[in-house]
């Protein structure tokens, strides 16, 4: 008689395990972050992110077509801006012929069904490496929002499907929604970085874009903690996500991923829009480094982490592993 319930009956073999599996992954669950550089036929590997490259637009387009053929349906794009184009106001960010705008047009022309979500923040364009305009020793919230609206509208004009504000300014989702609507882009969505924490896991990403805060001849914050969230906080993430939904966000994001799965679940339970999770550069780099040393099995660890992010409540996972994971899933 003992025990009547045996959990192991549902684990006898892979066929049974697959029948009762609660969470599944497919290539359409992934978004691939891409770094774009000036020039032609340019492909430069990022040292702290093995297998990830800054590519010129021509090679980016080829990569996008490969991703689409694998079943990936979304890319999140970032640009590496030349130093001579940077200023405090980030004016290059809304140049209609800027690198980002040209990249959006090229991707949509070559692969119209790929969903393109360009990053909206001023740090790649800022001489100070901050996500907004520096005034009186801090990042000025409202003038930054005005700049972000210009940036987002220029992305929409170039053909973006969604804009992805990663800046963490207060009220920016409402301003972006109002600005996009006023410009006639009511169908361009907003994927808001709602719970973006001030995390040490972003280090390799900042190498990719040279977007870390810089020393300057004026007073500037030494880090991004006045606008990105304190990683000790949980309720704040729910509050931020709810605010963004009220302001018009179509999707919300939690960033980083694996170290923040409690936040993913809390946000998923609180909102009624899709939740995106950014499996960030540091999380990617740790798996690469450990597997290179033989300490972890690369593919098994990669897939376990992605499955755990999905299990926690992610509708979409932005991950540098998107291509590698899609190739593995397509082999099954």
Alpha helix locations (H) across 24-160? Answer: 57-69, 99-110, 141-158
E runs forming strands in 43-188: 43-45, 53-56, 74-79, 115-120, 133-135, 138-140, 162-165
Q: Is the peptide bond before 112 cis (omega within 30 degrees of 0)?
A: no
C-alpha 65/C-alpha 72 separation (Å) is 10
Task: Record the tokens describing residue 275, joined without a space.
Answer: 């939740």
* 196 belongs to the catalytic site: yes
Report angle CA 310, 208, 104 to the nearest 5 degrees: 75
Locate tokens 């409202």: which residue? 142
79 forms bridges with which residues in the sheet? 36
Evaluate whether 225 touches 199 at the Cβ level (below 8 Å): no
Task: Please state whether beta strands 53-56 and 30-37 pair in parallel, antiparallel, or not at all (unpaired).
Answer: parallel
* 255 belongs to the catalytic site: yes
Report angle CA 178, 184, 185 to the nearest 5 degrees: 75
Annotated active-site residue in 255, 288, 310, 323: 255
Task: Record the tokens describing residue 8, joined without a space.
Answer: 């192991």
Give first-to-last CA distance, the chain, whole Å.
40
Annotated active-site residue in 196, 224, 268, 323: 196
For 49, what's the count of Cα atoms within 13 Å in the CB-facing half-sphere? 27
Task: Record the tokens describing residue 302, joined without a space.
Answer: 């990669």
Q: Is the peptide bond before 3 cis (omega within 30 degrees of 0)?
A: yes
Give the single-character DSSP code of 229: B
Q: Which are the catalytic amino acids?
A: 196, 255
């Amino acid at each position: 008689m003992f025990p009547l319930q045996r959990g192991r009956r549902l684990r006898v073999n892979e066929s049974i395990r697959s029948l009762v599996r609660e969470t599944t992954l497919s290539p359409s669950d992934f978004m691939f972050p891409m770094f774009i550089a000036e020039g032609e036929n340019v492909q430069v590997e990022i040292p702290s992110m093995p297998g990830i490259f800054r590519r010129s637009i021509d090679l980016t387009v080829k990569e996008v077509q490969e991703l689409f053929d694998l079943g990936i349906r979304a890319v999140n794009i970032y640009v590496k801006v030349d130093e001579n184009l940077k200023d405090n106001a980030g004016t290059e960010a809304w140049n209609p012929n800027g690198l980002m705008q040209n990249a959006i047009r090229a991707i949509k022309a070559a692969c119209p069904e790929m969903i393109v979500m360009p990053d909206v923040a001023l740090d790649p364009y800022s001489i100070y490496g901050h996500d907004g305009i520096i005034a009186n020793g801090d990042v000025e919230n409202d003038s930054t929002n005005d700049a972000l609206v210009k940036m987002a509208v220029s992305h929409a004009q170039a053909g973006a499907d969604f804009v992805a504000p990663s800046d963490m300014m207060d009220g920016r989702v409402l301003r972006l929604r109002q600005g996009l609507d006023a410009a006639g882009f009511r169908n361009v969505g907003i994927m808001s970085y709602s719970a973006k924490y001030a995390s040490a896991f972003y280090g390799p990403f900042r190498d990719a874009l040279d977007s870390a805060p810089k020393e300057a001849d004026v007073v500037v914050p030494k880090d991004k903690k006045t606008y990105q969230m304190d990683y000790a906080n949980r309720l704040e993430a729910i509050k931020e996500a709810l605010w963004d939904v009220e302001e018009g966000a179509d999707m919300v994001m939690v960033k980083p991923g694996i170290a923040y799965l409690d936040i993913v679940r809390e946000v998923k339970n609180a909102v009624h829009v899709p939740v995106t999770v950014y499996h960030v550069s540091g999380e990617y780099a740790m798996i690469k480094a450990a597997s290179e040393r033989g300490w972890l099995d690369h593919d098994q660890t990669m897939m376990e982490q992605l499955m755990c992010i999905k299990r926690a409540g992610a509708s979409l996972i932005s991950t540098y592993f998107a291509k590698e994971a899609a190739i593995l899933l397509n082999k099954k």
